[in-house]
Amino acid sequence: MPTLLEIQQAVGRSIVEGDDALAARYVVAEGLPPEARLGIYRNNFIGTLTAALKLCYPAIHRLVGAEFFEGAAHIFIAAEPPRRADLDAYGEGFAQFLTGFPPAGALPYLAGVARLEWAVNRALHAPDVEPLDLSRLGAIAAAAHGRVAFRPHPSVSLIEADYPVDTVWRAVLAQDDDAMAAIDPGAGPVRLLVERRDTGVEVTRLDAPAWRFATALCASRPLQTAIEVAPEVDNATLLAEHLTAGRFIGFERVCGPITSGPNS
């Protein structure tokens, strides 16, 4: 008699990989072939996860249509089944998957829109964490400000895309065909800040230096480094904006030499 672990591993392979050989031997063969009974659970698995992806990626679903979306989702689900039971956290790899999915090649902005939708999903479901208490910063001597490295709020994402994916995303979700038609895919790259505010999830465009500054800060690089990678910005004003918007939840003082090289 197989152990429970052996049965469950066989059923997992039946459901995810479609390999029924072992699992079918464990099922009572009565009325309906074991493979058909296992197939009910496989269909539920694919159906539930496809629905979860559709909830997370509504703009992708509208852009490519139901048939394309479901086909892509099925391949993605088999390749990257969920590792957690809360499906709000499922589907992070979908944008990367679309990048390497040949049928998606005709829509070069697709992966960028998917990355934006994942950031929006992340902002929606991020834990509620109190923003940094600004009085704590006051205790740091001015000479040491450059050594402050912030911890970003978990709802914040910074995205860079080669296409105006925010415009595409808004037009698709609003089902605004005129706005869709007016989109110039060649309009160049966009740099976005995605976050949850009291009023809901916000997607804001930043210019290149402001985006580099915010990205360095949210990567917990020291303030001095963030200033060095974006020397042209009014860093005091931008920092004040980030702080009052509650985009940081804590900070550390970095010891040792500070470099402005790429993230290690």
Partner 1 sequence: MSARVAPITAERGSVPREAGIGLRFPHHHAILDERPRVAWLEVHTENYLGGGTPLSYLEAIRGDYPIALHGVGLSLGSAEGLDLDHLDRVRRTVERIAPALVSEHLSWSIAEGRYLADLLPLPMTEEALGIVCRHVDQTQTVLRRQILVENASSYLRWRYSTIPEWEFLAAVAHRTGCGILCDVNNIYVSACNHGWNPSIYLAALPPAAIGEIHLAGHSVRQLEGGRLLRVDDHGSRVIREVWELYAEALARFGPVPTLIEWDTNLPTLAVLIDEAARAAALLDRACQRIADADAA
200 binds partner 1, rule: CB under 8 A: yes
Instruction: Give the CA distances from residue 250 to residues 124, 129, 132, 161, 220, in Å, rounded to whole numbers and listed in that order.
Output: 21, 10, 5, 28, 10
Max alpha carbon distance in the chain (Å)? 79
From 80-88, 98-106, 107-115, 203-211, give the range in contact with partner 1 by CB under 8 A: 80-88
Helix residue spans in 126-256 (DSSP H)? 134-138, 165-173, 177-181, 208-218, 223-229, 235-244
Select the residue interacting with partner 1 from 22, 26, 68, 260 (CB under 8 A): 26
Q: What backbone torsions phi and psi does residue 185 show, to the nearest 5 degrees?
A: -60, -20
Residue 199 binds partner 1 (CB under 8 A): no
**CA distances, 227 to each of 158, 215, 223 (Å):** 17, 11, 6
Which one, 128 or 178, has the nearer CB to partner 1? 128
Paired with 250 in beta bridges are 151
How far apart are alpha carbons 126 and 52 in whole angstroms?
Answer: 17
Name which of residues 151 to 190 contact partner 1 (CB under 8 A): 155
Paired tokens of 37: 């009974």
27 interacts with partner 1 by CB under 8 A: yes
Q: Is 87 in the site for partner 1 (CB under 8 A)?
A: yes
Q: Toward partner 1, which CB reaches closer, 38 or 168? A: 38
Rule CB under 8 A: choose which of 126, 180, 243, 245 binds partner 1: 126
The footprint of partner 1 (CB under 8 A) covers 1-5, 7-9, 11-12, 15-16, 26-28, 30-32, 34, 36-38, 40-41, 44-45, 48-49, 81-89, 123-129, 155, 196, 200-201
